[in-house]
Amino acid sequence: MAAAGTCGTGTRSTGSMVAAASTNNVTSFQRRGPRASGADSGCSRLVSIAGTRPSVRNGQLLVSTGLPALDQLLGGGLAVGTVLLIEEDKYNIYSPLLFKYFLAEGIVSGHALLVASAKEDPADILQKLPAPLIDDSYKKECDEDVCSHKMEPDIKMKIAWRYQLLPKMEAGPVSSSRFGHYYDISKRIPQELIETSKWHGFFLPEKISSAFNVESCSLTPGYMKLLQFIQNIIYKEGFDGSNPQKKQKNILRIGIQNLGSPLWGDDICCTENCDTSHSLTKFLYILRGLLRTSLSACIITMPTHLIQNKAVIARVTNLSDTVVGLESFIGSEKETNPLYKDYHGLIHIRQIPRLNNLIYDISDVKDLAFKLKKKLFTIEWVQDNYLRQERNIYPPGFSYLLKQKDSAWGEGSLQHSTFLMSFLAKATAFASRLVRHCEPLKQTGSGRIHQAAGPRLWHDGRRQEAQF
């Protein structure tokens, strides 16, 4: 293709690639930069990368975070070329889970991984990843890839010939190209999956022991080495499109653990005014520059609760694209709050980026809580639990009367209420007594109750006074 000629000079500007591609009317993803719009992606020549899908809003390429519930909250997934910042919970119990889900999703989708940590050896981190769930009962959508498999033209069935048209089921889905998988935390990922995956590890104590000859640049040596390592991998493996001979495009998933903690050599969590106060923000800016010009997505967990200087937290948030905060209930007063009885913590979606658009996908639900069950990590709306409990005590189909505290039992002192009002009454400050007023309305033939509640006004065609 003519486009290959212009790109063969090794220029790194994705702008020129896009210009060349648009003149040739090529929509194949291999020739466009990672931020190209998929507006004309309806054409079948679009080559897709395993484990990704275009966003419904603007055709942005998305990867899954490993948690389908989190994908939904983020508007479909994490956009390629952006940073997902996880603000760690206080005792760092739940944020490593999100980190592991992200990496496990990368292995299952066949993406390349880059794991950076100052605390744990990346090889050990990979050993502890959760195993993917292949159980059909957790699949939410039909697996279209199964249907597209080639059928062996072996035996022609004579009687049950319709069965010949059915696709053959996979024995075991090792590398599934479906978007978003479920994982079983109680099991470890099978060893063969790790061995077939392509991963690069950055363990700070190993890298920093070599003599450093970096010029002073106001970045701590740890960050400097990490940036050079990431840039090296992106360039050598061709994730930034600098190697056009590569046939199969792939995504690089970068995971950086506990960024900003003192183990990285940064004082930002120890003192309020430190000398290297700009080191972390500079690192994030250069990292964002690297990501925007390559096919990669990054997850960073950061102990923001340790950062003394609030201004730095605000700057870090502005420099990241998607920010999710975890707040666990351990040791906090919310542990005894009955509203949060079944949950382990709250999850706050603090920021979602507006990419290639004026607007962004934001869910209306704001009170989100997470729960760590034996096998799964789930995210739910807090009110669901509360309403469930309410319905057990005040079942719908009845009407309820509301009496204010210290008021008489005479006429006119009782207010009529439906189930919803009874729910609201619980939240109000004044104590009220709720009295069940009437029997549930007769069931109609279809089993649906037409009126949720109501006094027996029109049942007999005559108005009846309330009886006590």
Partner 1 sequence: MFPELNNLLNTTPEGAEQGKLTLLCDAKTDGSFLVHHFLSFYLKANCKVCFVALVQSFSHYNMVGQKLGVSLTTARERGQLVVLEGLKSAVDIFFRPQEEPHPLQFLREANAGDLQPLYAFVRDALEPVDCGEAAWRCPVLLVDDLSVLLSLGVGPVAVLDFVHYCRATVCREWKGNVVALVHDSGDAEDEESDVLLNGLSHQSHLILRAEGLATGFCKDVHGQLRILWRRPLQPTTPRDRSLTYQYKIQDKSVSFFAKGMSPAVL
Q: Would you tell me which residues interact with partner 1 (CB under 8 A)?
A: 13-15, 18-19, 33, 35-37, 58, 215-218, 227-228, 231, 278, 281-282, 285-286, 288-290, 292-293, 310-311, 313-315, 318-319, 354-359, 364, 366
Q: Measured between alpha carbons, how far is 40 from 46 in angstroms, rounded to an integer?
A: 9
The most distant pair of C-alpha atoms in the chain lies apart, rounded to whole Å, by: 95
Cβ distance to partner 1 smaller for residue 36 or 208: 36
Task: Quote the least distance from Cβ 358 to partner 1, whole Å.
Answer: 5
Q: Measured between alpha carbons, how far is 360 from 255 in angstroms, rounded to an integer?
A: 25
Cβ distance to partner 1 smaller for residue 197 or 294: 294
DSSP 404: E
Cβ distance to partner 1 smaller for residue 111 or 282: 282
Burial class (CB in 10 A: 0-12, 13-18, 19+), 29: buried
Task: Quote the least distance from Cβ 30 to partner 1, whole Å.
Answer: 17
Identity of residue 428:
T
DSSP 329: -
Half-sphere exposure of 410 (CA within 13 A, CB side): 2
Cβ distance to partner 1 smaller for residue 14 or 385: 14
Task: Quote the least distance from Cβ 98 to partner 1, whole Å.
Answer: 23
Identity of residue 185:
I
Judge whether 311 and 330 are in contact, CB under 8 Å: no
Could you count the other beta carbons within 10 Å of the beta carbon of residue 237? 19
Query: Which residues, listed in sequence order, are joined to residue 432 by a DSSP beta bridge?
Result: 404
- Taking alpha carbons only, the member of 126, 241, 274 closest to residue 195 is 126
Cβ distance to partner 1 smaller for residue 81 or 303: 81
Task: Quote the least distance from Cβ 121 to partner 1, whole Å.
Answer: 27
Task: Quote the least distance from Cβ 3 to partner 1, whole Å.
Answer: 17
- Which residues are CB-contacts of 245 (< 8 A; sequence separation ≥ 6)? none
The first and second tokens of residue 84, run together, are 């997902």
Judge whether 38 and 60 are in contact, CB under 8 Å: yes
Judge whether 339 and 367 are in contact, CB under 8 Å: no
6 phi and psi angles, rounded to 5 deg: -70, -30
Task: Quote the least distance from Cβ 39 to partner 1, whole Å.
Answer: 9
Task: Quote the least distance from Cβ 10 to partner 1, whole Å.
Answer: 13
Task: Quote the least distance from Cβ 312 to partner 1, whole Å.
Answer: 9
Task: Quote the least distance from Cβ 417 to partner 1, whole Å.
Answer: 26
Task: Quote the least distance from Cβ 317 to partner 1, whole Å.
Answer: 9
Specify the residue for token string 């057990």. 392
What DSSP string describes 24-36?
Answer: HT---GGGS-TT-
Cβ distance to partner 1 smaller for residue 2 or 19: 19
Task: Quote the least distance from Cβ 241 to partner 1, whole Å.
Answer: 13
Cβ distance to partner 1 smaller for residue 37 or 407: 37
Cβ distance to partner 1 smaller for residue 4 or 311: 311
Task: Quote the least distance from Cβ 252 to partner 1, whole Å.
Answer: 15
| Pairing mode of beta strands 345-351, 322-328 | antiparallel
The first and second tokens of residue 79, run together, are 């956009």
Judge whether 415 and 466 are in contact, CB under 8 Å: no
CA angle 74, 259, 186 (to 5 degrees): 65
Cβ distance to partner 1 smaller for residue 90 or 348: 348
- Which residues are CB-contacts of 54 (< 8 A; sequence separation ≥ 6)? 38, 41, 60, 61, 62
Q: Is the backbone of residue 317 left (phi > 0), alpha (psi -120 to 50) or beta?
A: alpha
Instruction: Please say whether the dihedral angle defined by the alpha carbons of residues 206, 208, 211 and 214, taken in this order, is positive or negative.
Output: positive
Cβ distance to partner 1 smaller for residue 279 or 328: 279
Cβ distance to partner 1 smaller for residue 109 or 294: 294
Cβ distance to partner 1 smaller for residue 358 or 429: 358
Could you count the other beta carbons within 10 Å of the beta carbon of residue 209? 8
